[in-house]
């Protein structure tokens, strides 16, 4: 009963109880995972709420914005600090990233930094080489062991109380987004019924379907990119580059490049390696939203080349 109560409480406040001496169960916490499971099942309500062009457009826009937010902010900024941003924009980035329902910036960055240290070793939480495809794709995300994170990995982020707040109450931003979409759909149904949308339709398409699509898009880098593709560089892990995933994830699919030189904002090292996230970040740099966007030194491009 106590374990049940702890799992339910984590739906609302994700306290980090990490202890290096504790051996956490590396299995799915089904009670804690219930909201995520229900989110996926709720997509079936699409057969009830129907379809409209407005709802589809909102779903696609939110898919793009949040895939970009995970790659540009949670990954390239919070995890690797490959460019600089002031505290205001850092806070906005954290909100956008949190809206993707992939937990808070400290949790995300801590796990990802650890991943680079032990990539494709047994201690890598989402290595498909050691733990299988399904576990690397989604299972690890729902396990009791990985709900917590090592705070030693993110001391630079923990000094900002606003980031700590977003991280602890990681369901708050997604809840606000879902409620806002429902209200938007209801308002449109009242003001412009000819659009054929409604509150529940906007919730299902704009939030549920879009969020599940965002999750399954971004986590392909954990699973597929460590199994299939091409390797330009000899790295200590099994990372691969993929043109298709590079397009789908807005540039994150050039994963072998990234593991070769994670200090670069740019992950598509060659001109033909399309990296939409990098292009947008360069535009943001020109608009003075961010600064010091890092490229790839020529020496890095010539180092550790794999033998074709």
Region 132-138: mean pLDDT is 97
Max Cα-Cα span within the chain: 63
In the chain, which ranges are continuous DSSP H helix? 2-9, 30-41, 46-49, 53-69, 87-98, 105-117, 128-131, 133-137, 144-147, 155-158, 161-168, 172-191, 199-202, 210-218, 220-223, 243-248, 255-260, 276-286, 298-301
Share of the chain above pLDDT 90, in %: 88
Q: Give the pLDDT confidence of 2-54 residue by residue, as tens digits.
A: 666 666 777 777 888 787 777 788 899 999 999 999 999 999 999 999 999 99
Q: Give the pLDDT confidence of 80-127 residue by residue, as tens digits.
A: 999 999 999 999 999 999 999 999 999 999 999 999 999 999 999 999
Enter the tokens of residue 2.
Answer: 């106590």
Contact 252, 218 (CB under 8 A): yes
pLDDT at 103: 96
- Rounded alpha-carbon distances, angstroms, from residue 39 to 43, 92, 212, 257: 7, 25, 8, 33
**28: three-class secondary structure by DSSP:** strand
For the chain, the straight-line distance linking the first and the last C-alpha, in angstroms and rounded, comes to 57
Contact 262, 279 (CB under 8 A): no
Question: Would the pLDDT of 308 be above 70?
Answer: no
Q: For residue 66, which of 279, 277, 272, 268 has the smallest C-alpha distance?
A: 277
Rounded to an integer, what distance in angstroms lies between the CA atom of residue 95 and that of residue 24? 29
pLDDT at 5: 65
Rounded to an integer, what distance in angstroms lies between the CA atom of residue 45 and that of residue 69? 27
Task: Tell me the sheet residues that pair with 290.
Answer: 85
pLDDT at 1: 62
Rounded to an integer, what distance in angstroms lies between the CA atom of residue 266 and that of residue 260? 12
Q: Give the pLDDT confidence of 221-269 residue by residue, as tens digits.
A: 999 999 999 999 999 999 999 999 999 999 999 999 999 999 999 999 9
- Rounded alpha-carbon distances, angstroms, from residue 50 to 56, 86, 153: 11, 43, 45
Enter the tokens of residue 189.
Answer: 């149904």
Contact 204, 194 (CB under 8 A): no
Burial of 166 (0-12, 13-18, 19+ CB in 10 A): buried
Contact 64, 266 (CB under 8 A): no
Share of the chain above pLDDT 70, in %: 97
Question: Would the pLDDT of 217 be above 80?
Answer: yes
């Amino acid at each position: 009963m106590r374990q049940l109560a702890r799992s339910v409480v984590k739906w609302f406040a994700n306290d980090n109880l990490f202890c290096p001496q504790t051996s956490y169960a590396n299995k799915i916490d089904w009670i804690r995972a219930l909201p995520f499971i229900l989110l996926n099942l709720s997509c079936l309500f699409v057969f009830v709420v129907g379809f409209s062009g407005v709802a589809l457009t909102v779903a696609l826009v939110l898919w793009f914005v949040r895939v970009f937010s995970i790659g540009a902010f949670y990954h390239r900024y919070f995890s690797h600090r490959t460019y600089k941003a002031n505290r205001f924009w850092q806070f906005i980035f954290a909100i956008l990233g949190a809206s993707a329902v992939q937990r808070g910036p400290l949790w995300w960055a801590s796990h990802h930094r650890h991943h680079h240290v032990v990539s494709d070793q047994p201690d890598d939480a989402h290595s498909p080489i050691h733990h299988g495809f399904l576990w690397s794709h989604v299972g690890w995300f729902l396990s009791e062991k990985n709900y917590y994170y090592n705070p030693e990995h993110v001391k630079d982020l923990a000094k900002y109380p606003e980031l700590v707040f977003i991280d602890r109450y990681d369901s708050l931003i997604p809840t606000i987004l879902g409620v806002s979409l429902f209200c938007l759909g209801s308002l449109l149904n009242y003001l412009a019924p000819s659009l054929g949308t409604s509150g529940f339709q906007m919730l299902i398409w704009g939030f549920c379907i879009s969020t599940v699509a965002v999750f399954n898009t971004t986590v392909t880098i954990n699973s597929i990119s460590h199994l299939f593709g091409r390797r330009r560089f000899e790295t200590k892990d099994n990372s691969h580059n993929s043109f298709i995933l590079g397009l789908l994830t807005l540039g994150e699919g050039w994963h072998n490049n990234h593991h070769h030189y994670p200090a670069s904002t740019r992950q598509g090292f060659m001109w033909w390696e399309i990296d939409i996230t990098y292009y947008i970040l360069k535009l943001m740099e020109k608009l003075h939203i961010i600064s010091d966007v890092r490229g790839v030194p020529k020496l890095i491009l010539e180092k550790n080349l794999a033998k074709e």
